[in-house]
Amino acid sequence: MIGNDRTEGRAPAPAPAGEGTRAVRAGLPEPVKNEPPLPGPVFAAHFHLPGEVEGPYTYGRDTNPTWTLLEQAIGELEAPGADGAQTVVFASGMAAVSAVLLSQSRAGDTVVLPDDGYQALPLVREQLAAYGVRVRTAPTGGDAQLAALDGARLLWIETPSNPGLDVCDVRRLAEAARAGGTLVAVDNTLATPLGQRPLELGADFSVASGTKGLTGHGDVLLGYVVCRDPELAAGIRRWRKIIGAIPGPMEAWLAHRSLATLQLRTHRQWSNALAVAEALAGRAEVTGLRHPGLPGDPSHATAARQMQGFGSVVSFTLPDRAHAERFMAALRLVEDATSFGGVRSTAERRRRWGGDAVPEGFIRFSAGIEDGEDLVADVLRALDDAAADAS
């Protein structure tokens, strides 16, 4: 049975130096003769527990060996070599987001949120206000949240922001927050742990939806929180126990299995996203083009300082709703779907959900792992078809 140290998701030291090696080996148990390298999912609501309560596994809502290995693996990727960093996995990204925001704030506290982040954050803001928590907001770009930090209990950062792709200086914000006694959480969903490591930049929590780039196949709902402080991790774990937002063992196992290809997937996605962005830059009908990897992007300099990769997402705006819908309908290699970070390219007219302050023709595009030339050709052909149909 897996030991207590793994039950708490601690990242071991020293870690392998290469990110590809870490991704392939992350969270694997010590080899046992005639046993698989990655044990299968453990489906158990309860465990044998005679006599005194001891050992890591007692009841399925509290702990599970399959979670343990996944938490170990994510910790090795988000905080390689960190002593004491711990990971807690959840049933979804929003379960992880809620766990941090709602477990770390009380009535009378102040929380600082981005006003240009993921569209579910306004729902969280309403819930915080209902609990008597004051909420301040500011844009991601230009490190504007600095001006809202005074007296705050928690700063929530989303960088790159979704869907606008603004980037803020995490180290600068974290240093200012720490000076005032403010905790810092960073949503690392878009970057993935291979693109950005928030704990190394000074954050207390790295939070993400594992549904997206981490697992990358569009078949798992998952979230996680990595904490630099074991006491903070204990609070997050307690919240998970109370709320019961636990991942299924099959989902946890699928997520762990998928990590082995994380480097291969993300590097191909990053390359494809940049190629699509460069191709879009030459189109007259495209405005508001954003991708942190473009040298001319407003966020490029900051992103280059703190990111190892610029992500799989490109955002841009077409002239109007009808033009955007013609473009979407003309795509052949790109699925019209509301997620990102998958092996198959996706895109959507984001305004259709009504939750983002974006134009009607705004497109969020997520590059998959198709051949880059094929993907670019499909996008350019769809743009041509959309323009021709307008005339």
Residues annotated as catalytic are 61, 118, 187, 212
Identity of the residue numbered 269:
Q
Separation CA 164–CA 141 (nearest Å): 10
For 347, list phi and psi in degrees, rounded to 5: -160, 160
DSSP string, 206-244: EEEETTTTTT-SS----EEEEESSHHHHHHHHHHHHHH-
Long-range CB pairs of 120-123 (<8 Å, 24+ gap) are 120/94, 120/355, 121/97, 121/156, 121/158, 122/355
Give the number of other Cβ atoms within 10 Å of residue 108's Cβ. Answer: 10
Q: How far apart are CA 163 and CA 121, in angstroms?
A: 13
Distance CA 207, CA 233 (A): 12
User: One-letter amino acid identity for 55?
Assistant: G
What's the residue count for the chain? 391
Residue matched to tokens 């291969």: 264
- Counting DSSP H helices and E strands in the chain, the numbers are 12, 12
* Sequence letter at residue 254: L
Cα-based distances in Å from 57 to 36, 45, 46, 302: 21, 10, 8, 44
Q: How many CA atoms lie within 13 A of 387 on its CB side?
A: 11
Helix (H) or strand (E) holding 137: strand 134-138
List the one residue out of 389, 382, 383 whose CA is nearest residue 330: 382
